[in-house]
Chain A
Amino acid sequence: MAFVEQHIHDAPTSFWSKYICSYDHKVIGKQFLWFGIFFLLVGGLMAVMIRWTLAFPGQPFPVIGQLMFPHTGGVVPPDTYAMLFTMHGTIMIFYAITPILIGAFGNFCIPLMIGARDMIFPTLNMLSFWFNMASGILLLGSLCLPLGAAAGGWTSYPTLSTTLGQQGLGQTMWTIALFLLGVSSTMGAVNYITTIITLRAPGMGYFKMPLTVWGLWLTSILNAIFIPVLGAGLLLLTCDRIFGTTFFLAGAAATSGKGDPILFQHVFWIFGHPEVYILILPAWGIVSDLLSFFARKPAFGYKMTALSLSAITVLSTVVYGHHMYTTQMSPLLTQSFMTLTMLISIPSAIFFANWLGTLWKGSIRFTSPMLFSLGVVFVFGLGGLTGLYLASTSIDLYLHDTYFVVGHFHYTMAASVLLGGFAGIYFWMPKMFGRSMNECLAKIHFWTTMIPLNGIFTGMMIMGYAGMHRRLYNPFIYDFMHKLMPMNTFVTWCAIAMGLAQSFFLYNFFKTIFFSKNKPLASANPWEVGTLEWEIPSPAPHYNFKEIPVVKCGPHEFGNPNLKTGRDFQYQTEELVEVK
């Protein structure tokens, strides 16, 4: 495709145009980052409250418990507990991970890594953020309603999510907030896909793109296709709640006519399973790049990794039924879905092996981004393997809706993505804000996160295997659960430790951005890597590239003994030196 050079737009001068209604992809990326970090803290606090309730049932939540729940003496009440796990899941998935991994890195990295001056539709990009913001405000606003926020779980299955399951506006606002978020994500997806297809710098073929861009591109494709599916489900749910339709009301729940609650499950999981990959593909892309960058070796099997990610993207669209084995699905269908789900392990194993191949005999630099990337390799390995148990129909019938599922999806969707997000933040920090974060604090942050994180999610899987249901307010009213009390307490202390460990990150992050003005700016290429964004000054200027770069080699050209430049890597704009 012929290349079109974007014009250099004038630098914004006022506070308003620079920080609020900016068209600059880098600023919008940072806006998404702030947004995501804020919601990460809110969702994290909710997680600690959930864990406190499970480990210490009937005991007041420390410090803020009395303030938040004065009528119960600071103890989290049962209805609030349901609201907490609903909002925790919703916030972490849609308002923390999505904005950070897709909104922040997508906006910041795509144009810089493909050699463009901005996204193709800057206004749409800005609108995408503000729709996201409106959605976030609506969701947070629902917490202040007299009957509380949504409490039907992050999946919001009917009839829990209909007016029979929950009166009041909370669930309705949840539904509308998610619909708005869907509009925002679709806008972003249209922008990302079009930008990557049409604005790549001359010479940058698809197989010369960094794997970060591959991950974001595939995520955007899934977003564009499957977010509207959720949108339709949400619209029908809204109609049931507001206009009196009866799509999801059945049996005694229906005042007239007859609906089908399972219909919502179909619609939700047609979207919901690809959503797992929507979240994780950017993290996989980032990690695939970082492993190569810090192992100082070309990415092993680069093309196969890109193709495996693409194969997973395709397969992710046809496996949703494995979330519904217990809905009396026909055995023929369960076996089909089981087989298709198992098939995903083939491309997953390919790129996982490629990650290990990249590390093999590398000159590994244990920087903070690399540590977090290695963390992703570890936790994704565990999360992926435990997914095989749940893919198997016979095992899933026992494990369904237990804490095993919670542990599994937290390993894949939360731990992998969170660690991948931190890897990205530490890595691109100099290019985003002009200064690198303190490496020592970053490494402390890694270990103090990584150790309790595994305590939490392994503990959850053990409890789930022992039969602990995922949504019980107080599981210990059942005799057989008493033996799990110590494990629950252990998991809760791990969660508290992990929560406190984030203060290392926050201190480091805020100090670097706001209290390091007297320190010199980072060099253009502090990590010594060859992708396009590291050829321009740090922080990246508003126009990105004065001259549009011409790409001549791939993003992972490391360790070539014939290089005469004194470096162990090549920039993508340099002619590839042959390895003889």
Chain B
Amino acid sequence: MNIDRSQEMKFIQSSVAMTVTLCSFAMLFATMFLGYFLVRSSVSVWPPVEIQGMPQGLPFLSTLAIVLSSVSYYFFEHKTGGKKVNFVLTIVLGISFLISQWLLWAALKESGILVSDGMVPSMVYAFTWLHAAHIAAAVFLLLWLGFYVFVRTEKLSPLKVINVGKFWHFLGVVWILMYLLIFVL
């Protein structure tokens, strides 16, 4: 995306602010990861009996959705052609991620893994709730950005696109870490 010289300083200011903001969000999730490591280190056998039979397909679908959404947003940010399609695809995939999370919670419940079953199930639920809440907020941000992409196109500034993108990609990275640590390793 081209940024003219007059916006350069605004870009720097915005980058500093966004970096600090993402550091704060990173610390929030880092604390959750710390909790997860402490919980995991206290369990002698992994996975513990409380979460055995946890569904594997839905978390994989969630991962696929969020990775593809990040890729489509990247194309929206950087490619000149097919911009709006990529943007719409990001929103659709983002909503798909939320639906897959909803289905995951339902599947967990169906498998008899309840939030009150102990620390490990509590952690799985709370971690995914927290992340999904951020994804929901990010989807609202995308919809807000959509207003400028489709309606007030003259007011669409590159800074808005870049900052929403940073937040979206950040949440994608957090999910990948969550997926690997909670559902794969």
Chain A positions near chain B (C-beta within 8 angstroms): 1-2, 4, 120-121, 186, 189-191, 193-194, 197-198, 224-229, 231-233, 235-236, 239-240, 243-247, 255-260, 263, 266-267, 270
Contacts and interface: CB of A to CB of B under 8 A. Distances in A.
B12 A257 contact: no
B13 A247 contact: no
A152 to B, nearest CB: 20
B20 A257 contact: no
Interface string B93-116: 000000000000000000000011
B122 A194 contact: no
Interface string B14-58: 001100110111011111101100110010000000100000000
25 contacts: A190-B21, A191-B17, A193-B16, A194-B17, A194-B20, A224-B23, A224-B24, A226-B27, A228-B24, A228-B28, A232-B31, A232-B32, A240-B122, A243-B115, A244-B115, A245-B115, A246-B118, A256-B117, A257-B116, A258-B119, A259-B119, A260-B38, A260-B119, A270-B31, A270-B34
Interface stretch (B123-131, B138-146, B155-163, B174-182): B123-131
B125 to A, nearest CB: 7
Given A228-B28, A232-B28, A267-B31, A258 B126 contact: no
A261 to B, nearest CB: 11
B185 interface: no
B13 A257 contact: no
A189 B31 contact: no
A270 to B, nearest CB: 7
Given A229-B28, A256-B118, 10 more contacts: A4-B9, A186-B24, A193-B20, A194-B13, A225-B27, A232-B31, A232-B130, A240-B122, A243-B126, A270-B31
Query: Which 8 interchain pairs have the tightest Cβ spacing?
Result: A257-B118, A232-B31, A245-B122, A228-B28, A228-B27, A244-B116, A4-B9, A194-B17
Nearest to A229: B31
A226 B20 CA distance: 12
A197 B29 CA distance: 26
Contact of B13 (A120, A224, A245, A270): A120
Nearest to A245: B122
Given A225-B27, A263-B35, A267-B34, A245 B116 contact: yes
Q: Max chain A CB contacts within 10 Å: which of B23, B117, B119?
A: B119
Contact of A235 (B30, B121, B126): B126
Q: Max chain B CB contacts within 10 Å: which of A1, A120, A121, A228?
A: A228
Contact of A258 (B13, B23, B118): B118
Contacts of B21: 186, 190
A78 B24 CA distance: 39
Contacts of B9: 2, 4, 198
Contacts of B125: 239, 243, 245
A231 B129 CA distance: 14
Nearest to B50: A257
A232 B35 contact: yes
Contacts of B13: 4, 120, 194, 198
Given A120-B13, A198-B12, A232-B35, A247 B20 contact: no
Given A232-B35, A236-B35, A245-B126, A257 B119 contact: yes
B20 A190 contact: yes
B20 A224 contact: yes
B167 to A, nearest CB: 13
Interface of B: 9-10, 12-13, 16-17, 20-21, 23-25, 27-32, 34-35, 38-39, 42, 50, 115-119, 121-123, 125-126, 129-130
Contact of B122 (A2, A239, A255): A239
B147 to A, nearest CB: 18
A528 to B, nearest CB: 35
B22 to A, nearest CB: 10
A122 to B, nearest CB: 13
Contacts of B28: 228-229, 231-232
Contacts of A258: 118-119
B119 to A, nearest CB: 5
A131 B135 CA distance: 22
Contacts of B117: 246, 256-257
A197 B16 contact: yes
B31 A247 contact: no
A41 to B, nearest CB: 31
B122 A227 contact: no
A258 B16 CA distance: 42
Contacts of A263: 35, 38-39
A119 to B, nearest CB: 11
Nearest to A243: B115
Nearest to B27: A228
A6 B126 CA distance: 43
Contacts of B29: 232
Contacts of B121: 257
A235 B130 contact: yes
A259 B122 contact: yes
B126 A239 contact: yes
A232 B34 CA distance: 10
A190 B17 contact: yes
A260 B37 CA distance: 13
A1 B16 CA distance: 12
Contacts of A255: 116
A229 B35 CA distance: 11
Contacts of B34: 266-267, 270
Contacts of A226: 27
A240 to B, nearest CB: 8
B27 A229 contact: yes
Contacts of A197: 16
B35 A246 contact: no
B116 A256 contact: yes
Contacts of B35: 232, 236, 247, 263, 267
Given A228-B31, A260-B38, A194 B116 contact: no
Contacts of A120: 13, 17
A400 B102 CA distance: 46
Contacts of A193: 16-17, 20
B24 to A, nearest CB: 5
